[in-house]
Amino acid sequence: MLKEIKIHNVIASKLPIAVVAAKYNGRYVQGLLDGVAETFNRVGMEEDEIVTIRVPGAFEIPVMAAKLAKSHTRNFGAIICLGVVVEGQTEHARLITEAVTYELARLQTDHGVPIVHEVLLVQNEEQARARCLEARHNRGNEAAQTALEMAELIQEFDKRYA
């Protein structure tokens, strides 16, 4: 059963948030981006506090996330990674998403920057529509809320213990 996204009480990040989004399966990824924007607008984040970078596909997301995580010119509160991979008749989709998942987890722990993994592996277009285009299930909203919550947690941790 598809879970409905709950709206949490989150606040705008004191640090900018980066979004890396695939162009492939653009209609669905745009739906995720719209969900992210809706949450950021709700908490009052300004446009200049959000950096959005589009990459060709899901496989290219980790390299850009790595550049952002290592950035010396800008310190990001969190990095949101958005993509949609639809399963086909071969193992290609699973291999892509497994590689992306591994790299994003590694980057997060190596650099101490929260990386929100919203690169979806779906079985069909119907699942993509439900998770990307329907407001009550939009995983972009969930990703933005997670990014804001983690950015705040990391900042509080650093203030207390770093």
* Cα gap 91→37, rounded to integer Å: 33
Which residue bears the tokens 């291999």?
A: 95
Smallest CA-to-CA distance from 76 within 128, 150, 16 is with 16
Query: In the block, which residue shows the tokens 């086909």?
Result: 88
What distance in Å separates the CA atoms of residue 83 and residue 91, rounded to the nearest whole number?
17
Out of 8, 72, 92, 111, which one is annotated catalytic? 92
Please tell me the distance from the alpha carbon of residue 16 to that of residue 40, in angstroms, as a whole number.
Answer: 11
Q: What sign does the dihedral 47-11-62-74 (CA atoms) show?
A: positive
In the residue annotation, 92 being an active-site residue is answered as: yes
List residues with catalytic annotation. 92
